[in-house]
Structure 1
Amino acid sequence: MKNGSCLCGGVQYTLTGALRPSVACHCVQCRKTSGHYVSATQVSADQLKITQDATLRWYASSPKAQRGFCSTCGSSLFWRHADDNGATSVMSGTLDGASGITTAKHIFVADKGDYYTIADGLPQHEQ
């Protein structure tokens, strides 16, 4: 079991079961919501329990996806696609303590910012 939260603690959650390796997304939407790129694990609906949601808000970032964030501190926490049967991507940096996961790959690198280089040797996918 892993716990996580936003910066101010207004949103808290618990994850159970095995966590997928983190995937680093460099798309424009992820860069705009985080200020850089996003790295996220993913869990099924039954693995995510939101234990505190007083400040949780959802933003429809596209017709098929929503982003969960804290309305007080602005932390980007979750991403979910309408077609994923409740699977939710959880921003890896919001996990408390050691996560026990590693980054597996980079996606949407064609959209990455020009101010950094990806040089970790992991697989890179243009989309």
Structure 2
Amino acid sequence: MTDGHCLCGAVRFEFDGTPLWQAHCHCESCRRNCSAPVTSYFGVADGRWRWTGTAPAVYVSTPGVQRMFCATCGTPMAYRAEQWPGEIHFYAASLDDPLAFTPEEHVHWDEHLPWLPISDDLPRR
């Protein structure tokens, strides 16, 4: 079992098994949602995860996209999109043990910020 939580600890989640995928996202909407130059996510299949604390607040950031966050401290917690049915995407930095995150690729590389040098050899798409 793997666990994670928001800054204040109110919103908590857990999941069983390994993530479906793990990636760094460089798209503008993720950057703006987190006020960060890159956001790291992992996908978990529905039925393998659950909220164990207060359920997060939800807003629709664009048609077909829901973003979940702690209504108390504002920490972004998860992302769900119609484009990826049957899975939820959690932020790697919210893991109780963020060292458990092992990125496999960079996505939306065409939107990356050139002032943040990235020197790993992960695939970029």
TM-score, structure 2 normalization: 0.90
CA drift at 1:72: 1.7
The aligned counterpart of 1:86 is: 86
The aligned counterpart of 1:113 is: 113
The aligned counterpart of 1:33 is: 33
Q: Does the 8 A contact of 1:21 with 1:101 survive in 2? A: no
The aligned counterpart of 1:16 is: 16
Structure 2: state its 5+ residue gaps.
none
CA drift at 1:115: 2.4
Task: Indicate the RMSD between aligned Cα atoms, in angstroms.
Answer: 1.5
Which amino acid is the alignment partner of residue 120 of structure 1?
A: D
CA drift at 1:93: 0.9
Q: Deviations over 1:18-56 (max 9, x none)?
A: 2234210000011001122111111011011101125x1
Which amino acid is the alignment partner of residue 116 of structure 1?
A: L
Q: Deviations over 1:79-113 (max 9, x none)?
A: 11124333000111101025533111101122122
**How many residue pairs are counted as aligned between the two chains?**
124
Say yes or no: does 1:74 pair with 2:74.
yes
Identity of aligned residues (%): 30
Distance 1:90 1:64, change over 3 A: same
Structure 1: state its 5+ residue gaps.
none
Which amino acid is the alignment partner of residue 49 of structure 2?
A: L
Whole-angstrom distance in 2 between the partners of 1:51 and 1:29: 27
The aligned counterpart of 1:51 is: 52
Whole-angstrom distance in 1 between the partners of 2:73 and 2:101: 25
Matched position secondary structure for 1:49: strand
Q: Does the 8 A contact of 2:20 with 2:45 survive in 1? A: no
Which amino acid is the alignment partner of residue 40 of structure 2?
A: S
The aligned counterpart of 1:42 is: 43
Matched position secondary structure for 1:59: strand
